[in-house]
C-alpha cells in the first residue's frame, strides 16, 4: 500500500510538471531557463493574424490557458486569445520590458518604475504591487518552499528581492554589486543569476542568504540555463562559460577569435547540445560538456533574442526580422519567414503555432 501511494504521488508530480502543449508560461520554457520544448514546430508557416498595440515590444510573450500575455513599452500588459481578440489589458505608469511569468493562474511582471505586479490571469485584476527602488528588466522566478510560494526578481537597485507570491509582502533582499538585468534560474532551492557586476550569484530562495558568487566576465546581461548541476551563460565580452554549481569551478569557456561582440541572448539546452545567438550575427551550437563548437550559422543580422529548441530543430529570430527554423544536427535551414522588423525577445511556442512580439508594436501569430 505504501508503495502504491508513493507511485500515485510521483505520477501526479510528473503529470503536474509535464509541459502542456498549449502552454508556454515561462519565456524560457521552465524554471531552469533551458529554452526547451517538447512540442513539434510547424514545418510550414504562414501568418494567421496580427494585433497592433501601442508602443513597441521588448518583452517576450507567454501563454497559459489559451491566453497570450505580452507587455509593451506603453506600459500596458495585454491578454489576447488564440484568434487575436483582446481579452483584457492592464495599464502601468511606465514601460514594461521584462517578460511575465504565469504561475497558478497569476501573471507576475515588473516595469521600469521598479514595480512588480500580480494580476489575475482570467480578468487582469491587480492582486498586489511590490515596489523596488529601480527598474525591473527580467522576469521573476517562482519556487514553493515549505508551503510558502516565493518569487525572486532582480532590480537595478542592485538587489534580488524575495517576495511572498500570495501577498506581495517582501521577505528578504540580497545585495549584489551592480544592476541585475535578467531572470534568475532555479537550482537546488537556489536562485542562480548574473549581473552587471560580472558575477554569477547563488542565493537561497528560502531566506535570501548567499551561497557563493563566481566571477564570469565584465558584464553578464543574460540569464543562465541550467542542466545537470551546470550553469551555462553568455557575457558582454563575447564569451560563453560553463560553471559547475557544486564545485563553483569553470569547466570551459568559449571565446570567439574573430569577434568579441556580446552574447545578449540566453542559451538553450537539449541533450548534450547548447545553442546561443550572438551580436556577431551567428548562431552557435556547442557540445555542452566540452565546449567544442559543433556548428555555427550566419543568420544575416545580430541575434539578441534567445532560441527555443526541441530534439530535432531550433527556432530563432534576429534583428532583421527573420523567423527561422533550423535543423539541430547541422544548422541547415528548414524554413524562413520574413517579418521585416527587428525582434529582440524569445518567441512563445505552442502546438502548431509560434507567437512573436516585434519592435513595430505588433503581435504576430504564425502557424501551419
According to the model, what pLDDT value does residue 258 have?
84
Q: Which three cell numbers stand for residue 22?
A: 498549449
According to the model, what pLDDT value does residue 3 have?
38
- The dihedrals phi and psi of 3, each to the nearest 5 degrees, come to -65, -40
Q: Give the mean model confidence (pLDDT) for residues 27-33.
A: 97
Q: How far is Cα 86 from Cα 287, in angstroms, rounded to an integer?
A: 43
Q: How far is Cα 323 from Cα 315, in angstroms, rounded to an integer?
A: 7
In this predicted structure, the answer to whether residue 331 has a pLDDT above a threshold of 90 is: yes
Q: Give the mean model confidence (pLDDT) for residues 105-121.
A: 98
* 16: nearest Cα among 117, 141, 108, 144: 144
Q: Is 301 exposed, middle or buried (0-12, 13-18, 19+ CB in 10 A)?
A: middle
Q: How far is Cα 241 from Cα 267, in angstroms, rounded to an integer?
A: 10
Q: How far is Cα 102 from Cα 97, in angstroms, rounded to an integer?
A: 16
Question: Which helix (H) or strand (E) segment is 14 a member of?
Answer: helix 2-17
Q: How far is Cα 358 from Cα 341, in angstroms, rounded to an integer?
A: 7
Mean model confidence pLDDT for the chain: 94
Per-residue pLDDT reduced to its tens digit, 171-212: 999 999 999 999 999 999 999 999 999 999 999 999 999 999
**Lowest mean pLDDT across 7-21, 194-208, 318-332:** 7-21
According to the model, what pLDDT value does residue 257 have?
84
**Lowest mean pLDDT across 11-15, 291-295, 322-326:** 11-15
Q: Which residue has the cell 497592433?
A: 52
In this predicted structure, the answer to whether residue 10 has a pLDDT above a threshold of 70 is: no
How far is CA 120 from its chain centroid? Answer: 21
Q: How far is Cα 283 from Cα 314, in angstroms, rounded to an integer?
A: 10
Residues 60/357, Cβ–Cβ less than 8 Å: yes
Cβ atoms < 10 Å from Cβ of 163:
24
Q: How far is Cα 279 from Cα 303, in angstroms, rounded to an integer?
A: 5
Q: What percent of the chain has pLDDT over 70?
A: 95
The DSSP secondary structure of 160-178, one letter per residue, reads: EEEEETTT--EEEEEE-SS
Question: Which helix (H) or strand (E) segment is 8 a member of?
Answer: helix 2-17
Q: Give the mean model confidence (pLDDT) for residues 201-225.
A: 96
In this predicted structure, the answer to whether residue 115 has a pLDDT above a threshold of 60 is: yes
- The dihedrals phi and psi of 243, each to the nearest 5 degrees, come to -125, 130
According to the model, what pLDDT value does residue 300 have?
96
Residues 34/344, Cβ–Cβ less than 8 Å: no
Model confidence band, residue 256 (pLDDT cutoffs 50, 70, 90): confident
* 232: nearest Cα among 218, 217, 250, 215: 250
Cβ atoms < 10 Å from Cβ of 257:
5
How far is CA 316 from its chain centroid? Answer: 14
Model confidence band, residue 4 (pLDDT cutoffs 50, 70, 90): very low
Residues 357/61, Cβ–Cβ less than 8 Å: yes
- The dihedrals phi and psi of 318, each to the nearest 5 degrees, come to -135, 180
- Residues in Cβ contact with 321 at an 8 Å cutoff, skipping those fewer than 6 apart: 338, 339, 340, 341, 342, 343, 358
Q: How far is Cα 183 from Cα 152, in angstroms, rounded to an integer?
A: 9
Cβ atoms < 10 Å from Cβ of 290:
12
Cα–Cα distance list, 242 to 2, 184, 225, 250 (Å): 41, 16, 10, 6
According to the model, what pLDDT value does residue 19 have?
53
In this predicted structure, the answer to whether residue 216 has a pLDDT above a threshold of 60 is: yes
Per-residue pLDDT reduced to its tens digit, 50-61: 999 999 999 999
In this predicted structure, the answer to whether residue 42 has a pLDDT above a threshold of 80 is: yes
Question: Which helix (H) or strand (E) segment is 77 a member of?
Answer: strand 76-80
Amino acid at each position: 500500500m505504501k508503495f502504491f501511494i508513493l507511485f500515485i504521488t510521483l505520477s501526479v508530480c510528473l503529470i503536474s510538471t509535464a509541459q502542456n502543449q498549449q502552454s508556454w508560461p515561462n519565456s524560457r520554457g521552465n524554471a531552469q531557463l533551458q529554452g526547451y520544448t517538447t512540442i513539434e514546430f510547424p514545418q510550414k508557416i504562414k501568418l494567421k493574424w496580427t494585433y497592433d498595440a501601442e508602443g513597441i515590444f521588448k518583452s517576450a510573450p507567454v501563454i497559459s490557458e489559451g491566453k497570450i500575455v505580452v507587455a509593451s513599452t506603453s506600459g500596458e500588459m495585454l491578454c489576447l486569445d488564440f484568434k487575436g481578440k483582446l481579452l483584457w489589458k492592464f495599464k502601468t505608469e511606465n514601460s514594461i520590458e521584462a517578460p511575465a511569468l504565469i504561475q497558478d493562474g497569476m501573471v507576475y511582471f515588473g516595469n521600469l518604475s521598479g514595480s512588480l505586479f500580480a494580476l489575475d490571469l482570467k480578468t487582469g485584476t491587480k492582486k498586489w504591487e511590490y515596489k523596488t527602488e529601480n527598474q525591473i528588466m527580467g522576469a521573476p522566478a517562482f519556487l514553493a518552499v515549505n508551503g510558502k510560494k516565493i518569487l525572486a526578481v532582480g532590480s537595478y537597485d542592485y538587489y534580488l528581492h524575495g517576495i511572498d507570491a500570495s501577498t506581495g509582502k517582501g521577505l528578504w533582499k540580497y545585495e549584489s554589486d551592480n544592476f541585475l538585468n535578467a531572470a534568475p534560474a532555479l537550482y537546488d532551492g537556489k536562485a542562480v543569476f548574473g549581473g552587471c557586476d560580472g558575477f554569477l550569484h547563488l542565493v537561497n530562495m528560502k531566506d535570501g542568504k548567499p551561497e557563493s558568487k563566481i566571477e564570469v566576465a565584465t558584464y553578464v546581461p543574460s540569464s543562465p540555463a541550467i542542466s545537470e548541476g551546470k550553469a551555462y551563460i553568455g557575457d558582454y565580452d563575447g564569451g560563453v562559460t560553463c560553471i559547475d554549481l557544486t564545485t563553483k569551478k569553470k569547466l570551459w569557456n568559449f571565446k570567439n577569435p574573430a569577434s568579441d561582440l556580446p552574447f545578449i541572448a540566453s542559451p538553450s539546452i537539449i541533450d548534450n547540445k547548447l545553442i546561443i545567438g550572438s551580436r556577431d550575427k551567428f548562431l552557435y551550437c556547442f557540445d555542452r560538456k566540452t565546449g567544442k563548437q559543433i556548428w555555427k550559422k550566419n543568420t544575416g543580422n545580430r541575434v539578441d533574442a534567445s532560441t527555443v529548441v526541441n530534439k530535432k530543430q531550433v527556432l530563432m529570430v534576429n534583428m532583421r526580422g527573420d523567423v527561422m527554423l533550423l535543423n539541430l544536427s547541422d544548422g541547415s535551414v528548414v524554413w524562413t519567414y520574413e517579418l521585416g522588423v527587428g525582434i529582440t525577445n524569445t518567441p512563445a511556442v505552442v502546438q502548431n503555432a509560434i507567437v512573436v512580439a516585434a519592435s513595430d508594436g505588433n503581435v504576430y501569430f504564425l502557424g501551419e
